[in-house]
Amino acid sequence: MAVAGAAALAIAACASFQSAPDPARVEREIAASKASELELVRSTIRDPVRTERFIDLLAQREQLMQRFVGQIIDHRKRMKVLNADYNTERSDFETQLADYNRKRAIAQQELVELITAMKQTTTADEWREIAAFQLDRLDPRHLAFGGLKEGG
């Protein structure tokens, strides 16, 4: 939960980089970590039915993260447009922020539901091993940066 949930919070942290990491290198690292995660899941969860269910949940996590990063990119673009327009009213900013916050709250709730389903698919020992890997190898900064190539 901490890995994917923190991706949204890591967006702000990305601004602290002195120079941006190489996007191609970051994408390769993410792809390698996701492949390693699949290998770990297959070797950790011994029941083939639960293994496939967990892999399906990982695919859903990926879709959720891609959608959320797209929403962040869209929000940042809209905020730039509003900011650039001298005649933009405060209410325009408030409307944009309310829309973004509504979408963010929905994504966070979906993430909680997804993580709950992942935990229900595993035993406590299996989850500890998988979660430790996710925290170590699927760094939220990389997840967030990897999807924020557009929109600044």
pLDDT in tens, 39-72: 999 999 999 999 999 999 999 999 998 999 999 9
Q: In whole angstroms, what is the distance from residue 87 CA to residue 61 CA?
A: 40
Quick one: tokens of 112? Answer: 């909680």
In a domain, 23, yes or no: yes
- Residue 146 confidence class, pLDDT cut points 50, 70, 90: low
Task: Give residue 12's pLDDT.
Answer: 42
pLDDT in tens, 1-10: 444 444 444 4
Domain of residue 63 covers 2-147
Number of domains in the chain: 1
In a domain, 152, yes or no: no
In a domain, 27, yes or no: yes
Q: Tell me which of 26 and 7 has the higher pLDDT.
A: 26
In a domain, 45, yes or no: yes
Distances (CA, A) of 143 to 5, 11, 52, 53: 11, 9, 23, 23
In a domain, 98, yes or no: yes
In a domain, 21, yes or no: yes
- Residue 74 confidence class, pLDDT cut points 50, 70, 90: very high
Longest Cα separation, the chain: 61
Calculate mean pLDDT across residues 138-142. Answer: 59
Say how far residue 7 (Cα) sits from the centre of its chain: 5
Distances (CA, A) of 121 to 48, 112, 114, 115: 11, 14, 11, 10
pLDDT in tens, 82-135: 999 999 999 999 999 999 999 999 999 999 999 999 999 999 999 999 999 988
In a domain, 36, yes or no: yes
In a domain, 83, yes or no: yes
Read off the pTM.
0.75
